[in-house]
Amino acid sequence: MTQPEAKVLSQPKRPSEDGKLNLRRWSDFYRAIINNDESTVGVVTRILRANFRDHRKGYAISFMFLFVVAAMTSLSAWIMRDVVNQIFVNQNVQMLWVLSFSVMAIFIVKGFATYGQIVVQSRIGNRIVAENQKRFYDRCLRFGLDFYNDRASSELIMSISGGSNAIRSILDTIVLSLGRDLITLLGLVFVMVYQAPLMSIIALLVAPIAVLSVSTLVKRIKAIAKAEFASSAQIIGIIQETVQGAKIVKAFGLGDHMRDRMLTAVSGVEQRANKISQLQARTSPLMESLGGISIGIVILYAGWSTISSGKTPGEFMSFITALLLAYEPAKRLARMNVTIAESLAPVRALFNILDHPPSPTEADHHASLKLTRGKIELVDVGFGYRPTDRVLSGINLSVDHGQRLALVGPSGGGKSTILSLIQRFYDVQEGAVLVDDQDIRNVSVASLRHNIAFVSQDVFLFSGTVRDNIRIGRLDATDAEVEAAALDAFADDFIRNLPKGYDSHVGENGVQLSGGQRQRLAIARAILKNAPILLLDEATSALDSESEHMIQIALEKLVEGRTTIVIAHRLATILSADKIAVIERGKVVEIGTHPELVQMRGVYEKLYRYQFDERSAEKAIA
């Protein structure tokens, strides 16, 4: 965290000027609290600003229903005076019917108002969750690969799920606390004060004690909730690793190790959840004890007043009914801060993602790429994934329309990084990458990638059918075009042998297909995209010799008339390339055609001779 950020997130200090009141400084102090996203008030204020305004009409309807509920609750306490005095004391038969039907009407109206409020509030809450999840995902799409390299997917999953639902929970708590509990409590207090002022003072003396006691629990709950959120993210991460790395877990006998990791994480969540429940539950004995003491004193005083002073019991019954009805809303209001504090950790995690600046590599406000030939140039390119790490240095390469440039060399030399820079997954730190003499940092990212077809050595398949995964190359392609691309990629035969052919599901990340089959689908995507620039990163690495030969025939057709850059460890696949560049330790050490490089007797010649001798030995053994 940078120093300026630390200042923004720090808690503002209280203003003081020789102990004198300074209204401007106090105004600035409260404004700083509201705008401080680390404080509870700051987070809640931001939630209200971002969500409440857009749904104010719906909330107005909800508040209207809640006001009716509160009014009916207060009225039910008020009417008890007449019920006792008119029916049980005066024995008025006419009022018996009137008051009985009035009580029925009160609770019927309250029931329908409660139903209306629940329906409206649920729809608003569901919409808020959906809106925040959409906003979160849209933000994630604007981040570059460097963002995802530094974060676990479990963290993002917890943020989008837990954070969105926590925002809904906080808003529901605020709306219900203000619209139902506070209004109900005020109405019941009015009934109490009107019916018995002195008894009301006695009953309300316990309120400050309850507020002070509950406030001490909030800080502890915040810290525990933050740790619980981290442990929950860890649980999701372990499950992902178990599913995606199932073969490694089985092959290396990691079952007990993974089980221990999961048990530790689950136990941590369980312990913290128990601790939060325990802290939340402390409000119950507090409120029960204070409420019981208050009610006991009131009954003692009211009973003495009725017996010795001859007061009618109606006022006392109305008062005690209001006092009992006020207990539940008072308890919920006392716990409101505790409930909100528990939800702050996931909300802050979601806000951290929303506040993270978009990656420059994903900026799309530039003009579209004007592609004429498809010439690619790397001019004095230097790059490192970290400030102290230099992956590429002084790279100068060019490949023109219709030409094929092959990149070879030892693993870890920076070949795949070059392809990433051309697609602007990362920005160069020195030099420039040009496409038809246009710096790719000054053109629309969408237009750049639209003109590039990419086949990676790490093939990723989406959950869905074979047809869906090939159609990723061009989403508006017809079924006939999809099948034609698969045919050209020599994938049609194995696809038709699957249980449902092109409509067969590939499983998570293509787990139901072999490595070679997944790679053929990736090549079919590139064929279907039909882009003028083609980047191949070990496109045939997962294929056997026979399949590789067939794919090479398909690729020979695919590269015609396209600007092609191919990375290959099998030199036999790139012998006919127009240019071959040898990349070693982030630098171009040799460049030329295959015959020229062999005559140089340098790095390339050694690689070629090694592979040639290896192939000869394999043939001899066969």
| Per-residue pLDDT tens digits for 40-52 | 788 888 888 888 8
Check residue 581 and give its pLDDT.
93
> Sorting pLDDT into bands at 50, 70 and 90, what band is 507?
confident
| Per-residue pLDDT tens digits for 126-139 | 899 889 989 988 88
Cβ–Cβ < 8 Å for 80, 318: yes
Name the strand (E) or helix (H) holding 233. Answer: helix 207-244
Cβ–Cβ < 8 Å for 466, 502: yes
In this predicted structure, the answer to whether residue 550 has a pLDDT above a threshold of 90 is no
Query: What structural domains and CATH numbers belong to the chain?
Result: 37-355 (1.20.1560.10), 366-451+577-622 (3.40.50.300)
Check residue 20 and give its pLDDT.
47
Residue 465: phi and psi, rounded to 5, are -90, 170
Burial 437-472 (b: 16+ CB within 10 A, else e): ebebbebbbebbbbbbbbbbbebebeeebbbbbbbb
Cβ–Cβ < 8 Å for 120, 179: no
Residue ranges in 245-312 assigned as alpha helix (H): 246-251, 255-281, 283-309
Check residue 391 and give its pLDDT.
92
> Sorting pLDDT into bands at 50, 70 and 90, what band is 465?
very high
DSSP assignments along 22-70, one per residue: -HHHHHHHHHHHHH-TTSHHHHHHHHIIIIIGGGHHHHHHHHHHHHHHH
- Please compute the mean of the pLDDT values over residues 353-382 and round it to a whole number: 89
User: What end-to-end distance do the CA atoms of the chain give, in Å?
Assistant: 61
Check residue 430 and give its pLDDT.
93
In this predicted structure, the answer to whether residue 386 has a pLDDT above a threshold of 90 is no
Which amino acid is it at 324? L
In this predicted structure, the answer to whether residue 226 has a pLDDT above a threshold of 80 is no
208: which residues sit within 8 A by CB, 6+ positions away? none
| Per-residue pLDDT tens digits for 243-273 | 767 767 777 777 788 888 888 888 877 777 7
In this predicted structure, the answer to whether residue 120 has a pLDDT above a threshold of 70 is yes
> Virtual CA dihedral for 294, 296, 299, 303, nearest 10 degrees?
-140
User: Using CB atoms within 10 A of its CB, is residue 59 exposed (0-12), middle (13-18) or buried (19+)?
Assistant: buried
> Sorting pLDDT into bands at 50, 70 and 90, what band is 424?
very high
Check residue 349 and give its pLDDT.
86
- Please compute the mean of the pLDDT values over residues 472-477 and round it to a whole number: 90
- Please compute the mean of the pLDDT values over residues 328-351 and round it to a whole number: 80
> Sorting pLDDT into bands at 50, 70 and 90, what band is 196?
confident
| Per-residue pLDDT tens digits for 514-548 | 888 888 898 899 999 989 999 998 877 666 777 77
392: which residues sit within 8 A by CB, 6+ positions away? 381, 382, 383, 384, 414, 417, 418, 421, 586, 587
Interatomic CA distance for residues 324 and 302, integer angstroms: 15
Interatomic CA distance for residues 507 and 501, integer angstroms: 14
Burial 144-155 (b: 16+ CB within 10 A, else e): beebeeeeeebb
Check residue 3 and give its pLDDT.
37
